[in-house]
Amino acid sequence: MKFIIKLFPEIMVKGTSVKKKMVSQLHDNLRTQLLRLDDSIELKRFWDKIEVFAPEDKRIPVLKVLTQTPGVEQVLEVSQSEADTLDEVAKRVADFALSKIEGKTFVVRVKRSGTHDFSSFDMERYIGGYLLEHGDAKGVDLHQPDYKVELEYQQNQVNVIAARHRGLGGFPLGTQGEILSLMSGGFDSTVASYLTIKRGIKTHFIFFNLGGAAHEIGVKQVALYLWGQYGSSHRVQFVSIPFEGVVEEIFRSSHEGYMGVMLKRLMLQASEKIADQMGIDALVTGESVAQVSSQTLRNLALIDKATDKLVLRPLAVMDKPNIMRIADEIGTRHFAESMPEYCGVISKNPVIHGSFKRMEKEQVRFDYAVLDQAVSEAVFLPVHEIIADVNAQANVEIVNQVGDETVIDIRRPEEIAARPLSLEGVVNIPFFELKQKFKGLDQSKSYLLYCEKGVMSQLHAQYLKDNGFDKVKVYRPASS
């Protein structure tokens, strides 16, 4: 089967050399991902589009890749054939369309390119008449038809459009440089990271561990999800920095009202050091003006003074409902809602209009050797190795066989429906409902949590153990 990739409009208005570079990058990005699905998939690159030829049985996974790759505006699913004359074109279109317009009104729309002795309008009239003569359509309706017969005709190639699918838009990943995203795993940082990926920026992740294995596993999971869904054409890093000592030093040295601002400044300073090591020029955060006390304009200005790096804030003027709407669309809302939280620095009376002079005094009292030590202990992990890393650490015991335990499948309902477990007595509780529903289960029994990769199972098993539920393990079938 064939797909035609239409490019993001902003690509098409670039200069010739820039456009050529972007189309080439998009072609390479798609090729990298599609060949993982099936090495028989073929791609053809043109100046204004990319064509993909794939086996019928790979339709759904191929569509997923095409619609979630930055740089793609629209994906056309087409039926391709060849025809040299108007009559031959009409016959090819009829083979596809007659069954679809039966009993309906229709209209024919043609986009033609190449050298022919007829126009697009001539084609629309001829094909429309042919379909009326040879089918059982109700009639032609130019304004509000029940069905639109669309085709592109280039030289002698006929592409009848079977379906249109909306793409992600944005620029091809890798064309706009690299950035380091400060990730907490909540709504804001995940949406901000998605937006930079969509804009074509290779996005690495940095996480500040304020205490607790569950939180780090949760942030790794959402980083893996974002990369797998929207950025897997490129290898990126997940950097974890132990920040418990930094928090202790903040409590020792900082005035209570400035603790939140001080923490954000130190996170930027640590990120700057890591970005320098990686050759990265910019940072991204999920901060939004006035969302919390540290995010007033004055406090954001105080925070930015801590680094010479460019700090991007894609959510700066977004409200929370809009951010949550995007999280819904991209599939990160449930991750954010179930993310274990750790509040290391809480000010009872946080300053909302901090003083630059006071901030200078606060930073002098802080022992920056503590920050340097934390940065020196940073752990770099390629995102594509997160699954192996989480399972290797196995903070919660992993079992490969089911005995007397009850298996709880914590995947999303659509994932369970697509690939159900072939076991008896499986209980289906999506991970985002587990916290509420697990306490209602028989606590005298033992439970095995299951998800496809094992990362979410580790996270939520650890979370349940932290909350006093001891009879929980992770189920990983021997074949996975």
Q: What letters, b where the CB count within 10 A reaches 16 and e where it falls short, cover 373-390?
A: ebbeebeebebeebbebb
Query: Which residues have a Cβ under 8 Å from the Cβ of 63 and sit 6 or more positions away?
Result: 3, 75, 77, 165
Is there a binding annotation on residue 309?
Answer: no
Is there a binding annotation on residue 295?
Answer: yes
Question: What distance in Å separates the CA atoms of residue 129 and residue 140, rounded to the nearest whole number?
Answer: 9
Question: What distance in Å separates the CA atoms of residue 93 and residue 97, rounded to the nearest whole number?
Answer: 6
**Residue whose token pair is 């603790």:** 259
Backbone angles phi, psi at 430, to 5 degrees: -55, 145
Three-class secondary structure of residue 127 per DSSP? helix
* Annotation marks residue 451 as catalytic: yes
Is there a binding annotation on residue 264?
Answer: yes
Q: Which helix (H) or strand (E) is 262 found in, with range?
A: helix 259-278
Q: Using CA of residue 410, residue 416, residue 419, residue 423, what is the dihedral sign?
A: positive
Is there a binding annotation on residue 22?
Answer: no
Three-class secondary structure of residue 191 per DSSP? helix
Question: What distance in Å separates the CA atoms of residue 325 and residue 138, rounded to the nearest whole number?
Answer: 41
Q: How many residues does the chain have?
A: 480
The region that residue 177 occupies, defined by phi over 0 for left and psi between -120 and 50 for alpha, beta otherwise, is: left
Question: What distance in Å separates the CA atoms of residue 24 and residue 175, rounded to the nearest whole number?
Answer: 10
Is there a binding annotation on residue 267?
Answer: no
Three-class secondary structure of residue 310 per DSSP? strand
C-beta separation of 239 from 378 below 8 A: yes
- CA-based nearest residue to 246, from 372, 412, 350, 160: 372
Q: Which among 214, 327, 451, 474 is annotated as catalytic?
A: 451
User: Which residues make up each annotated binding site?
Assistant: 182-183, 264, 286, 295
Annotated binding site for ATP: 182-183, 264, 286, 295
Task: Enumerate the active-site residues.
Answer: 451
